[in-house]
Amino acid sequence: MKAQFHLALPCETIEATKAFYLNVLGATQGRATDQWIDINLYNNQLTFTASGTFDFKFKSYKLDDTVLPSFHFGVIVSIDVWGALYKKLLQSHQEVTTEFTFMENKVGEHVSFFIKDPNGYMIEFKSFKSKNEVFSS
């Protein structure tokens, strides 16, 4: 079953959030008011609601030899889209993590990088070596 997801999150300001997702990541805007905005991120709906400052703390976990944020969300894209976005973000001097290859030579092998949005959310972009292995173990 192929389905889109919807994720609703608080944000400090609509304008900073909008600028990041549209101008930095290349997403598009959906419906919006002065209190919330829908973002189309690879055909998935992110809704951000202005909440002002909020407490955002998260712990990390380790996968192989890499420490990762336990609270994050992400998008699985083709290797072409992944590479183009990674290159674009590096060239625009955004703070992105180094690309990582996870589960190398194992079922579920994929490359990933992370970027933090202006609200402190970590976003992972990943591409699987074999798209049929997204849920395989």
Q: Encode pLDDT of 9-54 as tens digits.
A: 889 999 999 999 999 999 999 999 889 999 999 999 999 999 888 7
Q: What gap in Å lies between CA 30 and CA 54, rounded to an integer?
A: 24
Residues 6+ apart with CB under 8 A from 18: 29, 32, 37, 39
Structural contact between residues 123 and 114, judged by C-beta atoms closer than 8 angstroms: yes
Taking the chain, what is the end-to-end CA distance rounded to the nearest angstrom?
19
CB-neighbour burial class of residue 70 (10 A; exposed 0-12, middle 13-18, buried 19+): exposed
Model's pTM, two decimal places?
Answer: 0.80
Query: Is the pLDDT reported for residue 67 higher than 60?
Result: yes
Q: What gap in Å lies between CA 11 and CA 49, rounded to an integer?
A: 6
